[in-house]
Structure 1
Amino acid sequence: MHADELDLPVDLVRSLLADQLPQWADLPVRRVPSSGTDNAMFRLGDDLVVRMPRIHWAGDTVDHEVRWLPRLGGLLPVTIPRVAAVGTPAHGYPWTWSVLTWVPGSNPVLGALREPEVLARDLAVLVRAIRALPLADGRVKPGRLVDRDEQVRRDIVAVSDEIDADAVTAAWEHALATAEWDGRRTWVHGDIAPGNLLLTDDRLTGLIDFAGIGTGDPTLDLGVAWNLLPPPARAVLREDLDVEDTTWTRARARALAQALVQLPYYRDTNPVLAANARHVIREVTAEVS
C-alpha cells in the first residue's frame, strides 16, 4: 500500500517471538487479512495477535497503545485489546511491536447491516463513553478544518474524474464558512470505522486500534455516520448523541476530507478502503444536495 513500507513476512514474526517471547514460539502464526494501512496483524494461536507497524509514520503507535490500553480497561462498554507483551526492534525490524489479546467478533460490512439502527444506538453509547473517559494527559489531536483545506482541494482535483468536483467543493466550502471548530475537546478514539468495529450477533461488542486515542474535536468520532451507517441509522446516531447543525456539518466535512485523502492514495492499492472512500463522498454529497 505504501512505496516505502516494510516487508513483514511470517518468518520474521516467528523469529522475533523465538528470541524475545519464547513461551509463544510454538504457537501457529498467520497473517490477518485486513484493509488496515499502518500496521500488520498476525494471529498468534487462538487468543493473541501480534501487531507491527509497517510504515515509518506509524512507528510510535505501539508505544502509544501500550501506554493507554491498560488505562482504558473496564471503562468502555465493549471489549478492547489487552497488552500481553511488548517486543523490541530486532532482526532488521526497527520499531516496538506488541502482542495483544484477540478481540472476537466480525467486522460490519457496508451495505449488509441487518439491524443498522440498533448498531447506531450501540455506537452512540460507545462514543459517549469515550468522550467521558475519566483520564488526563491525552495526546492533543489537531482539529481545524482550515488546516486541511489545501490538501482537500488537491485531492478533489486528483479524483475529479470520478466525483462531482463542484458538489464536493461546495460542501467543503460551506463547512469552512459555517462550522469551524471552537476548540472544545473531548476524548476521541480517532478511527471509528468498519475495520475497527467488531460485532457479535449484530450487536457492537468490540473496538480495536487505539493508535489514535487522544483529545480533540468530538466530531473526530462521528465519521462512522457516513462510512458505515445508511441514512435512517445515521439519523438515529445523530439524535442519540444530540448533535446540532453546526457540529453535524463539521463532522460531515471531516468524513469528506478523510475520504478525499484516502481515495487517490489507495485507489490502486487498497480496494476496500478506496471503495469506502467513494461511498463516503457519495453519501456526503447526497446529504447536502
Structure 2
Amino acid sequence: MMHDDQVHIDADIVREMISDQFPEHGEERIERVGAIGTVNAIFRIGSSVAARFPLRSADPAACIDMLHREAAATREFAEHSPFAAPRPIGIGRPGPRYPMPWAVQSWIEGDVATPDGLADSTSFALDIAKLISSLRAADTEGRRFDRQGRGGHLPDHDGWMAVCFKNSENILDVPRLRRKWAQLRELPPSGYDVMNHGDLIPANLLVRGERLVGVLDCGSFGPADPALDLVAAWHLLDRDRRETMRMHLQSSKVEWKRGAAWAFQQAMGLVWYYQNTNPAMSALGRTTLARILDDPEI
C-alpha cells in the first residue's frame, strides 16, 4: 500500500465491473499493468483497452468531475501530440466492491521508459524536445495556470518542501538540498504560460528502441510555466543529451533552471514517500536529484 487512504482493487473486481458496465469487453483477458504509477491502478482489457482506477479514496462526485476534466484534457492533448496518446472511451460507475468512478481508454503499445535506459540517446532527447515544442504551440485559448501543484509560483511549494526535508533527514544530504532549494525558489518567471503535459516522468513515456512512441497520463494537459515540461530532461537524460534538448527548444538560462527547479520539487517528494512502498519511484527521485546537484550550471 503506497497511501494511507488507498482503495483496494484487483483483477476479479475489475472483471465484475467490466462485465456489468462494458459487456462488449466482458470476455476479454484482464491483466494488471505493473507500472510505477502512484495515482491509478491500470488494467489492460484485451488488446486495445485500458481501465484506470483511482487509488486514493475520494468523494465519488468529486472523482467523476475530475475524470470528466481529465478526459477533456486527454482529448485535447491527443490533438496536439505528435506521438500516440490514449483516447477516452468511457467512465465507469462505482460498484459493490469499488466505491468510486473509473475510466476506460484506448491502449497504447510501447515499453515504459526508465530513468537511465535512454539517457545517452540523442534520438530520444530530440523526440522529447519535439513533443514539448508541439505542446507549446497549442493555443491556450486565454487560459492561465489555475490549479494546485507544479507549474505556477515556485515559493508556493515551500511548505511541502519543508515536509520533504524533514522526512529525508536520514536518507539524503538535507543541508545541501535545502541550500539548493533556497537558490531555485528565487528564480524569476521565464515567460507566459504555455500548454504543458504536466508530468513528463519516465512512467508516462512509451518507447520502442530509442524512439518515443507514446505518451500516457495526459489528463493534466493545460497552461502552466513554460519550464514545467523540462522536468523530462532531468528525469531521463544525461548532461550531453540535456544540452541537445535545450538547444532544440532554445531555452533561456532562467527557463532551463526553472525546469530543474520543478524536477527538484518533484524528486524531493519521491525519495522518502515511496522508499518502502514503491522503490522504483523512490529511485527515480534519487537519480533526478543527483543529476541536478551534479550539473555545474544549476
What TM-score bracket applies, with the shorter chain setting the length? over 0.9
Q: 2:188 — aligned with what?
A: 180
Give the stretch that moved more between structures: 62-71 or 135-144.
135-144
Query: Are 2:136 and 1:131 aligned?
Result: yes
For the Cα contact (< 8 Å) 1:186–1:215, is it kept in 2?
yes
AA matched with 2:5: D
Aligned equivalents of 2:263, 2:78: Cα separation in 1: 28
Q: 2:41 — aligned with what?
A: 40
Size of the alignment, in residue pairs?
288
Query: Are 2:28 and 1:27 aligned?
Result: yes
> Percent of counterpart pairs with the same letter?
30
Listed as ranges, the matches of 1:8-19 within 5 Å are 8-19=9-20
Give the stretch that moved more between structures: 276-285 or 148-157.
148-157
| C-alpha displacement of 1:86 | 2.2
Aligned equivalents of 1:69, 1:269: Cα separation in 2: 28
> SS of the counterpart of 2:268?
helix
Please list every run of 5 or more consecutive structure 1 residues that lacks an aligned counterpart in the other structure. Answer: none
AA matched with 2:222: G
Listed as ranges, the matches of 1:75-154 within 5 Å are 75-113=80-118, 116-134=121-139, 136=141, 140-142=146-148, 143-154=152-163
Give the stretch that moved more between structures: 136-145 or 64-73.
136-145
For the Cα contact (< 8 Å) 1:145–1:181, is it kept in 2?
no
| C-alpha displacement of 1:139 | 6.6
| Cα RMSD for the two superposed structures | 2.0
Query: Are 2:289 and 1:284 aligned?
Result: no
Q: 2:72 — aligned with what?
A: 67
Aligned equivalents of 2:171, 2:3: Cα separation in 1: 22
Query: Are 2:273 and 1:265 aligned?
Result: yes
Normalised to the residue count of structure 1, the TM-score between the two structures is 0.93
Aligned equivalents of 2:29, 2:144: Cα separation in 1: 36
For the Cα contact (< 8 Å) 1:219–1:251, is it kept in 2?
yes
Please list every run of 5 or more consecutive structure 2 residues that lacks an aligned counterpart in the other structure. Answer: none
Moved over 4 A (4+): none
Q: Deviations over 1:97-121 (max 9, x none)?
A: 1221110111122222275221111
| C-alpha displacement of 1:135 | 5.3
AA matched with 1:172: W
> SS of the counterpart of 1:93?
coil
Give the stretch that moved more between structures: 53-62 or 35-44.
53-62
Query: Are 2:15 and 1:7 aligned?
Result: no
Change (3 A) 1:141 1:132: farther
Give the stretch that moved more between structures: 38-47 or 165-174.
165-174
Query: Are 2:203 and 1:203 aligned?
Result: no
Q: 1:221 — aligned with what?
A: 229
Q: Deviations over 1:78-100 (max 9, x none)?
A: 00001222212222433321221
| C-alpha displacement of 1:47 | 1.1
